[in-house]
Amino acid sequence: MKTTRKCRALLAVSLNLVALFFSITAFITTYWCEGTQRVPKPNCSNDRKHNCINYSGNDTSQNKVHYSWETGDDRFLFRHFHTGIWYSCEENINGGGEKCRSFIDLAPASERGVLWLSVVSEVLYIMLLVVGFSLMCLELFHSSNVIDGLKLNAFAAVFTVLSGLLGMVAHMMYSQVFQVTVSLGPEDWRPHTWDYGWSFCLAWGSFTCCMAASVTTLNSYTKTVIEFRHKRKMFEQGLREEQTFIDQEAFNYFRDRSVQSVSSSVEVFPGPAGSSGGKALVPRGSMDMGEIRESLGEEQC
């Protein structure tokens, strides 16, 4: 039983560690959502010859009208962007690299409170995962007493379940805020196409591992309690059977002793001639008294 309990505890610790690693990675990265943004092409210049608008003629005077033969989506660039809880980064079309902006500033004012609740829930989610992981490690490596191990196991399961619920709420709130920001966010940021990124997948993978760890911990606690109850029941049943056997032996012993004491205090004498030929059982004490009376009568005569 001890080996099986250790294996279940080790599995729960491993799942909790994976959930903690996934949650921290998702929290600090900026790939929860990614896609493309449609932005106007910049004017062509000596430094930029591609992905720009080339007006007819070389004269760039402001007093003249310039024409461009590009229509529709040809007039726009589709730059890549990716967004996390803290920052939103998009490709810099005027130079290399990326430029990032705070996603909290991009969110509509009506949704910033929900976004901050999501951030707080994510932080609490990670903190409760750390607490649950610590309790599981303590139960696995430093608990020699089974009762203390069960207590640690129960507390670890409670903290892990609470962390999973907080993580689920935080992920859902962030999804809601991002969808509202897509519709009501700044014009120069609104995505043309978007989808959830690998950080978002890591966040939900962390939630899945967290709930699996909590279920494993609860299963370990329940199985250990059931095994102890079964062993206690078998012990009490064996104790009752042993007590019944001892009582029966004692009863037989005292019964034999009482029979022996009675048989030793009784003598068998033949009955009178006119009787049916049976034998009379006369106690020794009565015979002695009769003999004494006969001797007393003879002395008086």
pLDDT (tens digit, 9 = 90+) per residue, 17-59? 999 999 999 999 999 999 998 877 666 666 665 666 665 555 5
- 62 pLDDT exceeds 60? no
pLDDT at position 275: 46
Q: How many C-beta atoms surround the C-beta of residue 248 within 10 A?
A: 10
- 64 pLDDT exceeds 60? no
Per-residue confidence band for 173, with pLDDT thresholds at 50, 70 and 90: very high
Report yes or no on whether pTM surpasses 0.85: no
* Arch. (CATH architecture) of 1-29+109-234: Up-down Bundle (1.20)
pLDDT at position 255: 59
Give the residue with greater pLDDT, 238 vs 29.
29
- 262 pLDDT exceeds 50? no
**Tens of pLDDT along 89-137?**
988 877 777 889 999 999 999 999 999 999 999 999 999 999 999 988 8
**Which of 114, 41, 115 shows the shortest CA–CA distance to 74?**
41
Per-residue confidence band for 292, with pLDDT thresholds at 50, 70 and 90: very low
% of the chain at pLDDT higher than 70? 58
